[in-house]
């Protein structure tokens, strides 16, 4: 009996058999796309057979036997002297029996030796001594029989162990980056071993729904409705190439992407979780396209699956985490962080050797993240995958960079532009006023129409909300007013998002009884995340790309026939200049807008304005271009393992925030924390943690420092990422019945603990 795992108990052979089963599934379904080299598949099979062989050592076996309450086997080595099993596995490879080239040995040793990334640096002499003390020859012979592998007695190959000693950080740039074909083989062997190992450990298929024809399902659905639109035909006609598509809102971009995906495995990346959740609900709806093998992967995806009362929420979540579903909707921090070259980057990159990636709304990302995405696309193409970039507006800088770098052949991609100028949606006016100066007008309109007010900062949005509430009371207008920004606890933010979506649901004008008026004051949180449709937009001036996203929340899918402007851009005392938005880009954007005052703005004009303004020539001297170029240089010179997986994820989420619980909720959270500490069941603990997180608000670290806000860490293992907001002047208010309140408001500064 050779144990591999203790809970549930599983032998090395059982785990290996599960991996071999998934290996056959992967080879049968996507094998031709991955590699047509029989030698590669033979090498991967060998890696599977021996990757956990090192667990047969007596120290590891005694650890599991102790957990299971079984007597220990005689062993002179203590657990403190244990060598990680992945290093030991290399020592058990049958060096003489395998006829491999030097390159193949290097690939195999790297894959097996580092299928777990350890901090302990391997030492060949120490590994050899450990093997001699914990794996007598009769044990090795029994292990080979356990694995059903022919056994020929031979000593551990010291030269293989010495390969593990080499400094990967200095060796990898020479070994991998200077040899593209070797790099691809390395990523495939090590990355697919990771995937097969993790899938087998999670007891799920490495690939599911491989036969589901996503493109054909989408095409049938569209033909049953109204047929294919030009953008959709373009995507379908160029499904054999990489595609960069600029298309207006309402043109059918999502369906275009699904047509382009066809029968392949794919990932669909969006910037915001709420957009992914909405897309998951829509695409999984059996009355629409009805995609069965659909994954959802972001930091809160399990919450959404449970809230949707998905019968197999846990299973869907696990399949999504293992990248197993036919189509996975995801944020970029989950699958596209491999340009950071962290330890284990091969797992995510390997899947793109046979998959497609759709990146939606690339203009919504910060310039340093956009630079990383371009680097990621280059690596995907190198691995043999395909990409589609689709967006409402596309900065020319990104196309110039793809073209000038030359890492993606011009023949391999095609560009298409699809403005919907037949649909007139927006008439614009520039107002030399701040938001509060037009408060009376907003209130008056808010009694009859659906009015959206967007501010550049949370503090400004709160001030506008307070001002309108005061005017509303003094003048007896009685307009309904709501506030939405990022400083609400998770529970209330979700309530408000559901409320605003139902209040101004896209297509509400086609339904009876849903024309209720009111005013919503928000921040850029609504720019790309919520599918809403208002009658009037009052917005602080902001860069063109953000402005056009905001305009997309007004007359989203319906024609505007009025002569009065429905887009009102306020240009005086604008918040966030220099802190949120680059001052020079703000100035350039305002100059570009002046000729449109009082005019209808066509969709093609929006595309042209963004394309022209965001060219390298026009961006010269801006912080935007500096960030982008610096990031490109960083990724081109990125050293292996300088960044951890977790740090890469944080950078892509642009995390400069802390999750904290307002003190007003201390009693209810105290009770939940006590339950969490007393609970031992893993699933129950996770559910209690989710409940606690509902009372947390995400706060910007820079803002916390500037306000000298008082935070006290919640020092509970498993919850230590949370803090209490102890400052009593950090007020929190929200009425759950009325769904109204200011959220978290700072009134003074305090001394930090």
CATH number of residue 168's parent domain: 1.10.3210.30
Distance between CA atoms of 270 and 373, rounded to whole angstroms?
A: 12
Mark whether 119 and 51 lie in a shared domain.
yes
Q: Write down which residue in 577, 601, 625 finishes a domain.
A: 601
- Would you state the structure tokens that stand for residue 455, as one six-digit string? 């501010």
Residue 357 three-state SS: strand
DSSP per-residue letters across 55-123: GGSHHHHHHHHHHTTPPPPP-SS-GGGPPPHHHHHHHTS-TTTS---HHHHHHHHHHHHTSS--SSPP-
Count of residues making up the chain:
753
Mark whether 83 and 197 lie in a shared domain.
yes
Residues in a beta bridge with 532: 505
Report which secondary-structure segment, H or E, holds 634.
helix 623-636
Distance between CA atoms of 303 and 313, rounded to whole angstroms?
A: 9
Mark whether 452 and 574 lie in a shared domain.
yes
Residue 592 in domain: yes
Distance between CA atoms of 251 and 258, rounded to whole angstroms?
A: 14
Instruction: Quote the radius of gyration of the chain (alpha carbons, Å).
Output: 29
Res 363: pLDDT:
87
Give the residue among 88, 132, 146, 143 at the shortest CA–CA distance from 113.
88
Q: Please give the angle made by the CA atoms of 449, 451 and 455, to the nearest 5 degrees.
A: 170
Mark whether 586 and 715 lie in a shared domain.
no
Residue 632 in domain: no
Q: What ranges in 150-265 are assigned the alpha helix state H?
A: 158-165, 168-172, 180-202, 214-225, 230-237, 253-261
Res 529: pLDDT:
67
Res 79: pLDDT:
87
The dihedrals phi and psi of 360, each to the nearest 5 degrees, come to -100, 140
Mark whether 676 and 734 lie in a shared domain.
yes
Are 641 and 169 in contact, with CB atoms under 8 Å apart? Answer: yes
Q: What is the dihedral of CA 278, 284, 287, 289, to 10 degrees?
A: 100
Are 244 and 389 in contact, with CB atoms under 8 Å apart? Answer: yes
Residue 735: give the domain boundaries: 656-746
Mark whether 121 and 14 lie in a shared domain.
yes
Query: Parallel, antiparallel, or unpaired for β 722-725 and 711-713?
Result: antiparallel
Mark whether 407 and 432 lie in a shared domain.
no
Residue 649 in domain: no
Report which secondary-structure segment, H or E, holds 722.
strand 722-725
Res 753: pLDDT:
29
Distance between CA atoms of 670 and 649, rounded to whole angstroms?
A: 30
Query: Parallel, antiparallel, or unpaired for β 481-484 and 536-540?
Result: unpaired
The dihedrals phi and psi of 203, each to the nearest 5 degrees, come to 60, 45
- Residue pLDDT, tens place only, 197-221: 999 999 999 999 999 999 999 999 9
Residue 50 in domain: yes
CATH number of residue 332's parent domain: 3.40.50.300
Mark whether 489 and 443 lie in a shared domain.
yes
Res 750: pLDDT:
38
* Angstrom distances, CA of residue 540 to CA of 81, 230, 361, 446: 63, 35, 22, 18
Residue 644 in domain: no
Res 533: pLDDT:
92
Q: Write down which residue in 391, 418, 445 finishes a domain.
A: 418
- Would you state the structure tokens that stand for residue 653, as one six-digit string? 């989420």
- Would you state the structure tokens that stand for residue 231, as one six-digit string? 């953008």
- Would you state the structure tokens that stand for residue 285, as one six-digit string? 């709806």
Residue 686: count of CB within 10 angstroms of its CB:
15
Mark whether 174 and 299 lie in a shared domain.
no
Residue 628 in domain: no
Are 377 and 403 in contact, with CB atoms under 8 Å apart? Answer: no
Distance between CA atoms of 687 and 306, rounded to whole angstroms?
A: 10
Residue 621 in domain: no
Please count the structural domains in the chain: 4
Mark whether 586 and 725 lie in a shared domain.
no
Q: Which residues contact 654 (CB under 8 A, 6 or more apart)?
A: 366, 369
Mark whether 162 and 298 lie in a shared domain.
no
Residues in a beta bridge with 262: none
Low-confidence ranges of the chain (pLDDT < 50): 749-753
In the structure, how many helices (H) and strands (E) does the chain have? 32, 21
Mark whether 195 and 225 lie in a shared domain.
no
Q: Write down which residue in 180, 201, 222 finishes a domain.
A: 201
Are 294 and 280 in contact, with CB atoms under 8 Å apart? Answer: yes
Report which secondary-structure segment, H or E, holds 731.
strand 730-735
Distance between CA atoms of 387 and 392, rounded to whole angstroms?
A: 17
Residue the block writes with tokens 């066509």? 602
Residue 141 in domain: yes
């Amino acid at each position: 009996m050779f144990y591999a795992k203790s809970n549930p108990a599983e032998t090395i052979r059982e785990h290996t058999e599960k991996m071999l089963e998934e290996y056959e599934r992967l080879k049968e379904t996507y094998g031709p796309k991955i590699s047509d080299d029989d030698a590669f598949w033979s090498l991967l099979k060998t890696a599977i057979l021996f990757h956990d062989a090192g667990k047969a050592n007596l120290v590891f076996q005694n650890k599991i036997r102790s957990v299971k309450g079984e007597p220990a086997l005689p062993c002179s080595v203590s657990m403190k002297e244990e060598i990680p099993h992945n290093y030991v596995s290399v020592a058990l490879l049958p060096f003489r029996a395998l006829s491999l080239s030097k390159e193949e040995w290097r690939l195999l040793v790297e894959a097996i030796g580092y299928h777990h990334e350890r901090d302990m640096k391997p030492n060949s002499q120490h590994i050899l001594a450990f093997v001699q003390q914990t794996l007598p020859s009769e044990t090795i012979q029994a292990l080979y029989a356990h694995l059903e592998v022919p056994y020929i007695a031979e000593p551990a190959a010291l030269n293989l162990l010495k390969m593990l000693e080499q400094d990967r950080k200095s060796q990898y740039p020479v070994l991998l980056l200077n040899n593209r074909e070797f790099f691809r083989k390395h990523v495939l062997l090590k990355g697919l071993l990771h995937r097969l190992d993790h899938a087998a450990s999670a007891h799920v298929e490495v690939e599911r729904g491989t036969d589901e024809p996503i493109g054909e399902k989408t095409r049938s659905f569209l033909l049953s409705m109204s047929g294919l639109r030009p953008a959709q035909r373009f995507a379908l006609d160029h499904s054999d190439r990489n595609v960069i598509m600029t298309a207006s809102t309402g043109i059918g971009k999502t369906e275009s992407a699904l047509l382009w995906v066809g029968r392949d495995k794919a990932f669909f990346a969006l910037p915001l979780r709420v957009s992914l959740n909405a897309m998951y609900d829509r695409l999984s709806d059996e009355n629409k396209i009805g995609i069965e093998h659909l994954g959802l992967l972001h930091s809160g995806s399990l919450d959404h699956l449970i809230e949707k009362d998905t019968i197999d929420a846990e299973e869907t979540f696990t399949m999504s985490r293992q990248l197993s579903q036919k189509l996975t909707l995801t944020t970029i921090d989950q699958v596209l962080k491999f340009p950071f070259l962290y330890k284990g980057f091969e797992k995510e990159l390997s899947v793109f050797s046979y998959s497609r990636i759709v990146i939606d709304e690339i203009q919504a990302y910060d310039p340093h993240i956009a630079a990383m995405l371009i680097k990621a696309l280059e690596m995907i193409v190198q691995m043999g995958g395909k990409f589609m970039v689709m967006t409402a507006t596309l900065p020319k800088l990104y196309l110039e960079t793809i073209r000038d770098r030359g890492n993606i052949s011009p023949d391999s991609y095609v560009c298409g532009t699809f403005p919907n100028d037949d649909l007139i949606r927006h008439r614009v006016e520039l107002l030399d006023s701040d938001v509060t100066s037009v408060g009376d007008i907003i209130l008056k309109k808010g009694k009859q129409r659906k009015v959206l007010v967007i501010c550049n900062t949370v503090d400004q949005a709160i001030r506008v909300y307070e001002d309108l509430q005061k005017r509303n009371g003094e003048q007896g207008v009685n307009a309904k007013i709501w506030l939405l920004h990022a400083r609400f606890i998770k529970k209330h933010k979700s309530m408000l998002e559901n409320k605003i979506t139902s209040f101004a649901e896209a297509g509400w004008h086609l339904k009876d009884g849903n024309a209720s008026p009111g005013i919503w004051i928000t921040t850029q949180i609504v720019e790309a995340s919520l599918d809403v449709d208002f009658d009037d937009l009052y917005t602080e001036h902001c860069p063109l790309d953000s402005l056009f996203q905001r305009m997309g929340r007004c007359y989203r899918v319906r024609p505007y026939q009025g002569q009065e402007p429905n887009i009102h851009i306020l240009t005086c005392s604008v918040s966030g200049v220099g802190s949120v938005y680059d001052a020079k880009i703000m100035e350039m954007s305002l100059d570009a807008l002046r000729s449109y005052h009082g005019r209808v703005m066509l969709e093609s004009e929006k595309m042209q304005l963004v394309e022209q303004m965001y060219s390298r020539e026009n961006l010269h001297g801006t912080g935007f271009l500096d960030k982008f170029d610096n990031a490109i240089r960083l990724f081109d010179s990125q050293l292996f393992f300088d960044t951890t997986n977790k740090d890469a994820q944080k950078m892509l989420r642009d995390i400069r925030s802390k999750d904290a619980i307002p003190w007003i909720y201390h009693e209810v959270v105290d009770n939940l924390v006590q339950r969490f500490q007393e609970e031992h069941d893993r699933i129950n603990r996770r559910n209690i943690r989710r409940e606690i997180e509902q009372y947390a608000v995400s706060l910007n670290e820079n803002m916390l420092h500037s306000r000298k806000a008082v935070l006290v860490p919640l020092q509970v293992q498993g919850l230590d990422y949370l803090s209490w907001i102890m400052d009593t002047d950090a007020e929190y208010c929200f009425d759950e019945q009325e769904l109204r309140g200011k959220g978290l408001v700072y009134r003074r500064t305090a001394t930090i603990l």
